[in-house]
Amino acid sequence: MIELKEHFSYKKLIMFTLPTIIMMIFTSIYGVVDGIFVSNIVGSEAFAGVNLIMPAIMILGSVGFMIGTGGSALVSKTIGEGEEEKANKYFSMLIYLVLIAGITLAIVGFIFIKPISIALGAEGEMISICTMYGKVLLIAMPFFLLQNCFQSFLVVAEKPKMGLIISIIAGVINMFLDFLFIYVFKMGVFGASLATGLSQVFGGIVPLVYFIRKNSTKLKLVKTKFELKPLINACANGSSEMVTNISMSLVNMLYNLQLMKYAGASGVVAYGIIMYVGFIFSGTYLGYSIGSAPIIGYHYGAENTDELKSLFKKSIKMLVITSIVMTIFAEILSSPLASIFVSYNEYLLDMTTNAIRLFSLSYIISGINIFASSFFTALNNGLVSAIISFLRTLLFQIAMIFILPALFGLNGIWLAVVVAELLSLIVSIAFLIANRKKYNYI
């Protein structure tokens, strides 16, 4: 087992982060399977309805990402400082709060799901589709938050392979139940939401039971008390990840509204496919960032500046090479990927293929931006991390969503993310240069 305190060569860094990378990619793949079943069996209107309401669900789920990423940075830093008992108390407090937050958000969301669906542009039959899908996922919300949170804490516990195994099993459950509920029992959108919800219950409850019981890791759920200062630190530090998820969801809503204007429901379908495909590619960057953050946080807490410099240098090199390779793959595979979802409609197939080709140009840039935000979270600098995330996922994209379509029509919508990532790269590089002496990573 590779421990956080070790020196990380390229091989060790890849081996330690690979389970988290695979976990994020696999999580994306079983999300794609959801889309394939809904689009090909239930129909394009149901697929559009699912993609209209999903951003609202993801906004609520972002609380788990915030506490998981911010809390894991705090806990790994505390372990690096040699205070394991305090780290366990912080860890336990944060997990209990995630459960409370999940239940609260589920109740509030359940009450307002229908007006939210209407506000997002749902009309007629699509309102019932959005409401039904949303209500089932809201019931599973506490477990979804736990699943998101434990993705980070399992890495801190030096158990990234366990996180991978749990994700794979949850994914297999989702895919099997998709087939059973949608294809065999013809349960439509309700079947899709039920399959997803049950997989989230599994993904949240298994690590919860693991940490409740005696285990061999440095993390255990223990008796603790509410402490405001570490909670604020964790939430502030993880706010960038929450900002990222909320921003992405808000931007997705704006994309859908603009696409309804420029291309109708077909545009929403095409964008939904881009998101499913994009999750696989961006999942690689996100998986590496989540997997490497506890290592960075540990060595920062232990004041091992030489190791911090080594980790930063290796990460940038690997991300640059990976970004180039993945962008090439995305361009080559644009047509086959589109045909998986909409081979039954030539017009939709052509639109989606073109959209993937333009949108995929962002993959060559986004890896560095995702890592830069995560890097500052690991250094417990939530402010810089949040600024990068806010500009990248919200401000720049919103501006481009409205400016570029006025100049280039529908293609402007697909290119909005490319320009936004380019502007964000300038910001990320500026912050990395400005803070190099403060943290000694260069």
**Which pLDDT tens digit goes with each residue over 388-413?**
988 998 899 999 999 999 999 999 99
pLDDT tens sequence across 152-211: 899 899 898 898 899 889 989 999 999 999 999 999 999 999 999 999 999 999 999 999
Position 322 confidence tier, pLDDT thresholds 50, 70, 90? very high
Buried residues in 262-297 as b, exposed as e (16+ CB within 10 A) = ebebbbbbbbbbbbbbbbbbbbbbbbbbbbbbbbbb
Rounded to an integer, what distance in angstroms lies between the CA atom of residue 79 and that of residue 301? 8
Instruction: Write the DSSP string, 249-309.
Output: HHHHHHHHHHHHHHTTHHHHHHHHHHHHHHHHHHHHHHHHHHHHHHHHHHHHHTT-HHHHH
Q: Which residue has the higher pLDDT, 48 or 96?
A: 96
What is the b/e burial string over 358-397, where b = at least 16 CB atoms within 10 angstroms of the residue's CB?
A: bbbbbbbbbbbbbbbbbbbbbbbbbebbbbbbbbbbbbbb
CA distance 91 to 399: 38
- Give 433's contacts (C-beta < 8 A, 6+ positions apart): none
Q: pLDDT tens for residues 241-250?
A: 677 777 778 8
Examine the pLDDT at 32 and tell me if it is beyond 90: no
Which one is predicted more confidently, 371 or 25? Answer: 371
Percent of the chain predicted with pLDDT > 70: 99
- Compute φ and ψ for 314, nearest 5 degrees: -65, -40
Q: How far apart are CA 184 and CA 230, in angstroms?
A: 49
Single-letter amino acid code for the residue at 298: Y
With 0-12 / 13-18 / 19 or more C-beta atoms within 10 angstroms meaning exposed / middle / buried, residue 114 is middle
**pTM of the entire predicted model:** 0.76
> What's residue 238's pLDDT?
80
Q: Is 68 in contact with 238 (CB distance < 8 Å)?
A: yes
Contacts with 314 (C-beta within 8 Å, 6 or more apart), sequence order:
8, 10, 13
Longest dimension (CA), the chain: 61
Query: Per-residue pLDDT for 265 more than 80?
Result: no
pLDDT (0 to 100) of residue 436:
94
Q: Is the dihedral of CA 413, 419, 423, 428 positive or negative?
A: positive
Asked if 63 and 242 touch (Cβ cutoff 8 Å), the reply is yes
User: Does the pLDDT value for residue 333 go beyond 90?
Assistant: yes
Phi, psi of 63 (to 5 degrees): -60, -40
In this prediction, residue 267 has a pLDDT band, given cuts at 50, 70 and 90, of confident
* Rounded CA separation 291/427 (Å): 23
